[in-house]
Amino acid sequence: MSTLWSLERGAQLESENSVRFTVWAPRSTAPSVRLRTAAGNVDHPLRAVDGQRGVFTACVDGIGAGTRYSFVLEPGARALPDPASRWQPDGVHGASCVVDPSRYAWTDASWSGIRVEELVIYELHVGTFTPQGTFAAVIPRLADLRSLGVTAIEIMPVAQFPGDRNWGYDGVGLYAVQNSYGGPDGLRALVDAAHSVGLAVILDVVYNHVGPEGNYLDAFGPYFTEKYRTPWGRALNYDDAESDAVRRFVVDNALYWITEYHIDGLRLDAVHGIFDFSATHLLEEIADAVHTQSALLGRSAVVIAESDLNDPRLVRGASEFGYGLDAQWSDDFHHAVHALITRESNGYYADFGSLEAVADALREPFVYDGRYSCYRRRTHGKPSRGVPRRRFVVAIQNHDQIGNRAAGERLASLLTLAQLRVAAALLLLSPYVPLIFMGEEFGETNPFLYFVSHGDERLVCAVREGRRAEFASFGWGDDVPDPQDDATFTRSKLDWSKAARDPHNRVLALYRDLLALRRDEPLLQPDCASVSVSHGHPGWITLLRTPVAGVTSYVNPLVAVFNCSDGESCVPMPASDHGWHLRLSTDAPAYGGNGSAAAFVSSAQPDAPRRLLEPATASVLHMAPWTASVYQAAAD
């Protein structure tokens, strides 16, 4: 791609009063576009495009933005929404609507995007982030997120889904912005406002499956294949007969968000469910296209994958036979921290639970890097040595790990406040890109449950039964909230009033200070320090960061110390000629702690009374249970 991309499929304005309709429908013999007019429905035949098998088009004069239309694939057949519809005002089953993407007056001309190493990601679900559940309602909270220390919001999928409440992973209109959230201009206004306060916007997109209700793609062409199966439905056709047009449909979709909505990055859902044995993998094609288009637009854009494979090939460059994605989620970090602190051992947590696993996750993103997994009953993963740490996104909470619990409990409902503070410190002092799930920063205790609003009662029953079956291996029984019940959705909304009340305001203060320390301290930036991890009984971990020549050689070493146990830990400190000075302690009263600052014991006088911060002679740090502290080596 050497010139700027633009969308060619669907409805494109040729002028203010002329629209070109184009559709890929290789199974159709006499397709037409049906326009809804004041005088009734009017059908216009589509003609085949020379040299493009299965592509049909027609230009219709006298209409413009706001026109409702559908495609009729055979005479007398049902009218169907456009697969590339930009807007479905009446939902997934209704007519599509012509949109003028140039009509919105953007104000972000000076915005140039964000680099992956600068990311501090805040994941949010539009429907439950505010009482109103709209794009517009998110905007007033953006400045607070920026002042918290967040650099990017990651929006859960907004492609049109059935009904008005859903996580978004049941989307069927990949190009249509959810009508109940505010439609196309609502999303544009949110992105524009985010850029105005210095926040990037990452959009969660789903290319591994399409939801069941309102999915009319089968009628248009071979969008799906029977060669593979996914846990969520039929696999999209990326390498079978007639797959070229399907691949284009998805690659175009990625470029569409970057171009027409100024999105700064895409989070690709569950790429282990994308099956493609082509010489050029779809993921590589998406990454190349997005990077090329964003460069032509004068902005940077990132592509981040969620993957269960522990495969560094996703983020290795083409010269290393990789796909060239900018980053990938690493769930091993979450599992290690969660299992250690909660002591849960069901399901995939059976592979974790030890202090060593947490230490391993701080050294390398993949704990399972080719070792045997008891949960999977096979070896899993591959080493990530040599891959920059900025290529990995880690979390202690996200929509999956909370919402895929029967009761949707957040960590604040499972842990003590001291444990919650240590978990936050492990995340925000890790050498990776951190992701915070909405409400985590103030210790939200409202659950985040799985919810839908399907119109097909058989599908509703299937979803209910599927959720119960999913939880069987975790031993959570049959007490699963009904996903279809509106109350399940309402219970999942954030309670922002908590952020001003004790103890939630103290949790918020800790997140703010940890993020400020991460922002201001060069050694806490990904790939700006050499990292050394040690651990020992009963539950201590030290994370030592030392300067990298030519990058941070002017900065003194820094060490984060964690006591992940119910008892006091005696932690051997790294050597420092001029001692260590305390930068932050999670046990400070400002964060709801006891104020029992960690104390050093002199190696020369081990029986002497403990004194705070004896840098010249200190060798052992005594830490209260479930605390974390950050120290920096004193200057010469």
Encode pLDDT of 363-383 as tens digits.
Answer: 999 999 999 999 999 999 999
Question: In this model, does residue 603 exceed pLDDT 60?
Answer: no
Nearest Cα to 362, choosing from 430, 429, 435, 433? 430
Q: What sign does the CA torsion over 160, 40, 32, 14 have?
A: negative
Q: Can you list the domains of the chain with their CATH numbers?
A: 10-97 (2.60.40.10), 449-487 (no CATH), 529-633 (2.60.40.1180)
Q: Which residue has the tokens 């082509």?
A: 278
Percent residues over pLDDT 70 in the chain: 95
| Cα 310 from chain centre | 17
Q: Which residue has the tokens 């849960």?
A: 344
Q: Which amino acid is at 284?
A: E
pLDDT confidence bin for 606, thresholds 50/70/90? very low
CB-based contact 96:11 (threshold 8 Å) = yes
Q: What is the pLDDT of residue 466?
A: 79
Catalytic residue flag (residue 269) = yes
Average pLDDT on 184-205 reads: 98
Global pTM?
A: 0.95
Phi, psi of 145 (to 5 degrees): -65, -40
What is the 3-class SS of 364-411, one letter each residue?
A: CCCCCCCEEECCCCEEECCCCCCCCHHHEEEECCCHHHHHCCCCCCCH
Q: What is the pLDDT of residue 618?
A: 55
**Interacting residues of 45 by C-beta distance below 8 A, sequence separation 6+:** 30, 31, 32, 58
Question: In this model, does residue 356 exceed pLDDT 60?
Answer: yes
- Active-site entry in 269, 332, 351, 441: 269
Q: Which amino acid is at 517?
A: L
pLDDT confidence bin for 615, thresholds 50/70/90? very low
Q: Which two tokens stand for residue 491?
A: 């219970």
- Active-site entry in 252, 306, 332, 360: 306
**Helix or strand (DSSP H, E) at 144:** helix 142-148
Question: In this model, does residue 616 exceed pLDDT 90?
Answer: no
Phi, psi of 567 (to 5 degrees): -120, 170
Bridge-based pairing of strands 327-329 and 392-395 is: parallel
- Beta-bridge partners for 32: 45, 72
CA distance linking residue 2 with residue 439, whole number of Å: 43
**Interacting residues of 337 by C-beta distance below 8 A, sequence separation 6+:** 358, 361, 396, 423, 426, 427
Q: What is the pLDDT of residue 549?
A: 84
Q: Which amino acid is at 285?
A: E
**Helix or strand (DSSP H, E) at 259:** helix 243-260
Question: What SS3 state is found at 561?
Answer: strand
**By mean pLDDT, which of 88-92, 282-286, 600-604 is the weakest?**
600-604
Question: In this model, does residue 611 exceed pLDDT 80?
Answer: no
Residue 611 is classified by DSSP as B
**Mean pLDDT rounded to a whole number for the chain:** 93
Nearest Cα to 346, choosing from 447, 537, 477, 481? 477
Dump pLDDT digits (tens) for 274-293.
999 999 999 999 999 999 99
Q: Which two tokens stand for residue 4?
A: 């700027």
pLDDT confidence bin for 59, thresholds 50/70/90? very high
Catalytic residue flag (residue 242) = no
